[in-house]
Each structure stands twice: as C-alpha cells, then as structure tokens.
C-alpha cells in the first residue's frame, strides 16, 4: 500500500525556518517525481516544488530562493526546507507523488494527509 506521511509543521515566526518531512512507503521515492502542494486556509491549491527522479528540482516563483526540496533515498523520505518564512506561506502543505508520462506529467496520484504551517508572531 502506498502511503505518504508528512510531519514537521507548526508555528514559526516571520523570518524563521521549518523543515517538512514526507515519509513514503509502498514505493521508492527516488524512482518517482515527488512534489509539494500547499493550501492556505480557505483558499485553493498552489503548486510549490517538484523533485525529479533524476534529482532536478524546480520551484514556484513565490518560494524560489527560500525553499529547498530534497530527498534521502536511504530513508525513502522527501523534505521541504523552508527559510525566511512569510505570513503568506501559512498553509497546509501536502506531499504528493507525480505520475509521469513520456512527454509530460499525468497528475498527482498519491497525497499525504498534510501538515499545517502557521507563520505568525
């Protein structure tokens, strides 16, 4: 069974840092594209970042230069290091697995339960 379990959310002051973890089971993270998606309270879904199976990483403009996606193959875990946090980064952060076709993406087929990040003084 495929499972994604996020952790690491919490309350942080503006300008602070937080590292989110996504522990995967039932498949190998390094063989797949993995992505983070966030949802601010009462708002829609916002794509945040993706790490390809080959290791390339990409970010939304809103987080570029502040967030870093990475993975630990030995732990089958994906991370999102979030620095210089702003109030507008407050959201539920979801870890997802991205299905990939030959020439493009095919959607995020598995999602974690989400972890809440609150940015407030």
Positions in the binding site for other proteins (CB under 8 A): 35, 37, 44-47, 50, 58, 60-61, 94, 98-99, 101, 104-109, 111-114
Burial of 10 (0-12, 13-18, 19+ CB in 10 A): exposed
Q: Which two tokens stand for residue 54?
A: 């080959």
Which lies closer to other proteins via its Cβ, residue 44 or residue 65? Answer: 44
Q: What is the number of residues in the chain?
A: 121
Is the Cβ–Cβ distance between 27 and 34 less than 8 Å? no
Q: How far apart are CB 104 and other proteins at their closest, in Å?
A: 4
Which lies closer to other proteins via its Cβ, residue 79 or residue 94? Answer: 94
Q: How far apart are CB 74 and other proteins at their closest, in Å?
A: 26
């Amino acid at each position: 069974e495929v499972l994604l379990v996020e952790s690491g959310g919490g309350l942080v002051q503006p300008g602070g840092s937080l590292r989110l973890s996504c522990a995967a089971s039932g498949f190998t993270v390094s063989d797949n594209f993995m992505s983070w998606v966030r949802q601010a309270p009462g708002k829609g879904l916002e794509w945040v970042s993706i790490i390809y199976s080959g290791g390339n990483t990409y970010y939304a403009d809103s987080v570029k230069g502040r967030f870093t996606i990475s993975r630990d193959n030995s732990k089958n875990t994906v991370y999102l290091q979030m620095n210089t946090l702003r109030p507008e980064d407050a959201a539920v952060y979801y870890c997802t697995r991205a299905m990939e076709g030959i020439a493009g993406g095919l959607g995020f087929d598995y999602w974690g339960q989400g972890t809440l990040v609150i940015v407030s003084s």
